[in-house]
Structure 1
Amino acid sequence: MDSLGEQKPGNPADISAITREPHFAAEVLLAEYKTLRDEILKKMDHRTSMVVCSVTVSSAALGFGVERASGPLLLVSPLVSLLLGTLIVFQNAQIGEASEHIRRTIEAPLSATFAGFEGWHHTKRDPRYRLRQRLFSYHLPLILIAVAPAAVAVPLALANPKPLALTTPILIVDLGLLTVYVAQLVKHRNLV
């Protein structure tokens, strides 16, 4: 305000008047919802790309390792699959967090205000239901894509440990990555 008590344009008081308008709040809410949905879709696309990359690269490394009977080359397969598996768990957790935010801050208030309103995220809110519904068709295949190369490559690498000086450190890294992967699955079990 100036010395005469009038508001100057661009003053913080102007903004607070705008932000108290219901239309403004609805626009912000709609923009946030759209942005979060777009982010979820992008993360889902990234996750799909990582799954394809994991299967392709780990299968190729496993095939080359078997063909050459090379322990170190065999152990590259679980290295790739576990690294990408951990990133996939992270993507799933971020998708779950965005979905939970939409559910809690957008859909739940709308559901409480408007009888009969049920948003998609709100109807899929029970993690136990989601786990049961998607265990064999989604969760188990993703876990196997990350872990199966280790289950195949480690015994083969131990049977062909040439050269041992390279096999041992890669095996230690693979086991460490397996531990990290399992820890991330447990940590984010309610979001994925």
Structure 2
Amino acid sequence: MDSHHDNEAGKILALRSVAEDPKFASEVLLAEYRTLREEILKKMDHRTSMVVCSVTVSSAVLGFGIDRQSGPLLLVSPLVSLLLGILIVFHNVQIGECSDHLRKQVEDPLFETFQGFYGWHRGKSDPKYRVKQRIIPYLLPLILIATAPAMVAVPLALANMGSLALSLPVLTVDVALLAIYATQLIKHRTKL
């Protein structure tokens, strides 16, 4: 029993000495940096795929709904675009959190240690800068991709209501999703 305990204590001491080695720490930091950068790039690719999917599916459904003059079918378009819009906001938040972590845990300490070091995440860290630089070319189109189908479909669906029993549940879900989407945009505005 004592030899097992001594063996475990020896392993802990060995791990501590490795962990205290600056070379080990820099390797772990570099591995974390690379992994998070790869994750950011993957999330950006997923986000792009969701945007394309949202535009394609909501446009097709909207077109079918207009062609068939079907209120319930028209209301499916905002459902798709808003669900994907919420997922896109979620991906943006995750990308922002990874970027913040890299800036705070990697780039800021390097900046403090090596004057003149200026990493990409550090340069893009000011939320006011991000919003001002990205509102017209990026944020506004993303918001419109998620909400424009609702702005088009809801009035057309109300004009072509047909069966209220079919349209009302979908309209209720659309309104709820729009509220959730708006809430997420406001809540995470500094991460977008």
TM over 0.5: yes
| C-alpha RMSD of the superposition | 1.4
CA distance in 2, matches of 1:108, 1:67: 56
Aligned to 1:160: 160
Q: Which SS does the other structure have where 1:11 is aligned?
A: helix
How far apart are residue 90 of structure 1 and its match? 0.2
Deviations 1:117-165 (A, max 9, x none): 0000000010100100011000000000000000000000000001211
CA distance in 1, matches of 2:185, 2:133: 18
Identity of aligned residues (%): 65
Aligned to 1:126: 126
Amino acid at match of 2:113: T
Amino acid at match of 2:84: L
Large movers: runs of 4+ above 6 Å: 6-10
CA distance in 2, matches of 1:87, 1:34: 24
User: Going by fraction, where is helix more abundant, 1 or 2?
Assistant: 2
Q: Relative to structure 1, is the Cα distance of residues 8 and 186 closer, same or farther in structure 2, using a 3 angstrom cutoff?
A: closer
Aligned to 2:182: 182
Amino acid at match of 1:103: R
Aligned to 2:52: 52
Runs of 5+ consecutive residues of structure 2 not aligned to the other structure: none
CA distance in 1, matches of 2:182, 2:32: 33
Amino acid at match of 1:155: P
Q: Which SS does the other structure have where 2:189 is aligned?
A: coil
In the TM superposition, 1:1-192 aligns within 5 A as 11-192=11-192
CA distance in 1, matches of 2:155, 2:74: 10
Which piece of structure 1 moves more, 135-144 or 162-171? 162-171
How far apart are residue 7 of structure 1 and its match? 6.5
Q: Which SS does the other structure have where 1:105 is aligned?
A: helix
Amino acid at match of 2:22: P
Runs of 5+ consecutive residues of structure 1 not aligned to the other structure: none
Amino acid at match of 2:163: P
How far apart are residue 9 of structure 1 and its match? 9.6
